[in-house]
Amino acid sequence: MLLPSMLVAGLGWGLGFPALNVQATAGVADAEQGLAAGLFNTSFQVGGAIVVAIVSAVLSSHTGSAGGSQVQGILDSLRPSLAILIALALGGVVALFALGRARSLSAANEASPVEVGG
């Protein structure tokens, strides 16, 4: 049951991560490509570590406070943990669209300079 979902997740990561790297370093000067890639990868790793810490703290706090069995506590802790993950994922999608829109507006402004005349 887990194998198909793990294969799809692995395929998604394999296709998505290079695209994110390209998007993160697009428009950066050639001399600063390494810096931009390193900053992206570091931010990705630190962000992932923070998310894992937050979700595991929520899981453990709700698991310990459950009045029933530990299994029931784990099941009860999934809803707030999933809510946090969904909110973070939606925030990431909104940020990617905002970044893309800002870049396209910037490119459009550079392409058509405004004439100043009298």
Which tokens is 93 given?
Answer: 């999608």
Which tokens is 8 given?
Answer: 């799809």
Sequence-ordered list of residues with C-beta below 8 angstroms from that of 33, at least 6 positions apart, any chain: 25
Measured distance CA(64)–CA(72) in Å, rounded: 10
Report pLDDT for 31: 92
The parts of the chain modelled with pLDDT lower than 70 are 1, 63-68, 111-118
Report pLDDT for 66: 52
pTM of the model: 0.64
The ranges assigned to domains in the chain are 33-111
